[in-house]
Structure 1
Amino acid sequence: MPERFEIDAPEWKRVSPKYIFVEVVGSIIFTILLIAGLVIAALLWQWVWAPWAAGAVAVIAIVTIALEPRRVRSIGYVLRDDDLLFRRGIMFQRFVAVPYGRMQLVDITRGPLARMLGLADLKFVTAAATTGVTLPGLPLADAEGLRDRLVELAESRRAGL
């Protein structure tokens, strides 16, 4: 019988729990803007279906916001010998391995709400367009330390190619 690869064997590092707040506030703002647009459209152009659409948007937003804590807890990463393994997703899980030697850019971005909470997003770019990975919701000090470590690992791996 073939040996089964245990993807959960390494110790996964998770993003900050504060990131839940960032995601919930973003969802609320998007929902308010979308519902306001539908209400304005209903008033200006007498779209009779717009209130139903606004109700559907509200229900979808409530479900999405209720699932945000679980979705954020599903985001994780682990530094392995040759690559960084990233995971996210509840129903549809995504696992991406980014080899250190293939990293071309490691970038830190911070939105206004994330800045207020001391969080940052770390983005890894490789030559392949499909392997761009963003690790959201890291404490700023962790993001900076991880960026420096990944740049160091990428330079050492590229030198060894």
Structure 2
Amino acid sequence: MRQVPETDRAPAGAAVADDPKTIDPEGVDWLRVHPDYVKVRIFGVLIGAVVWLIITSIPLVLRSTGVWGGYPEWLAWLLPGLALLWSLIDLFVTNRRVRAIGYAERDDDLLVRQGILFKKVLVVPYGRMQYVDVQMGPVDRAFGLCKVQLHTAASDVTATIPGVTADEGARLREQLSARGEARLAGL
């Protein structure tokens, strides 16, 4: 293993050119989503956990009432246990998952990144943008956040920046739309 001298190390979160574990472009200053987006994601995980616990508990209830007894009791307990375990793991990684989301505006394109295990960096040229959509769900609205979606000329490609403030979402909508129109007019 190669030792890197302290003076040659990049700051935390910066991409290193010879690091094979990063797909981030060099020299990009990533903007992070708002820290309150963690609360929005936790709320979503908790709602999902309740739904999955209800669904996976149906065999347990049916077995307990004697309606359905064709399988072992441990299996009836295993399903809600797995749902609970999955939800706890999801809660545990939510903060890190939100910190992995970032976006950067460059001269010719917009970069959007996300993912911990499966990393994704999406480059959207301004000239390929069809329209910019800003959405606020009820939970987002409670925290003053929104989600910005960029729709491109390719019908299956959309870039999503969740968890930005309403002011930042409006700014992004106007600025990205203006840049897209300017680049499209230049084609």
RMSD between superposed Cα atoms in Å:
1.7
Aligned to 2:183: 157
CA distance in structure 2 between the partners assigned to 1:147 and 1:7 by the alignment? 24
SS in structure 1 at match of 2:96: helix
- Larger Rg over CA atoms: 2
Aligned to 1:146: 172
| 2:120 pairs with one of 88, 94, 97 | 94
TM-score by length of 2: 0.80
Aligned to 1:22: 40
Conserved in 2, the CA contact under 8 Å of 1:98 and 1:131?
A: no
1:64-116: CA deviations, max 9, x gaps? 11101011001000001110011001121100000101100100111111001
Cα deviation, residue 53, structure 1? 1.1
Cα deviation, residue 155, structure 1? 0.5
**Per the alignment, do residues 145 and 77 of structure 1 end up closer, same or farther by CA in structure 2, a change over 3 Å counting?**
same
Conserved in 1, the CA contact under 8 Å of 2:57 and 2:79?
A: no
Please state if 1:37 is matched with 2:55: yes
> Which structure 2 residues correspond to residues 9-158 of structure 1 after superposition, within 5 A?
9-44=27-62, 46=68, 48=73, 49-158=75-184
Cα deviation, residue 10, structure 1? 1.3
Structure 2 gaps, min length 5? 1-16
CA distance in structure 2 between the partners assigned to 1:69 and 1:6 by the alignment? 20
**Per the alignment, do residues 37 and 12 of structure 1 end up closer, same or farther by CA in structure 2, a change over 3 Å counting?**
same
**Per the alignment, do residues 85 and 6 of structure 1 end up closer, same or farther by CA in structure 2, a change over 3 Å counting?**
closer
Q: Alignment identity in percent? A: 36
TM-score by length of 1: 0.92
**Per the alignment, do residues 23 and 6 of structure 1 end up closer, same or farther by CA in structure 2, a change over 3 Å counting?**
closer
Conserved in 2, the CA contact under 8 Å of 1:83 and 1:100?
A: yes
1:32-77: CA deviations, max 9, x gaps? 1111122234323536423201101111111111101011001000
> Which amino acid is the alignment partner of residue 186 of structure 2?
G
By percentage of residues, which structure has more helix? 1
SS in structure 1 at match of 2:56: helix
> Which amino acid is the alignment partner of residue 167 of structure 2?
A
SS in structure 1 at match of 2:25: coil
Aligned length: 159
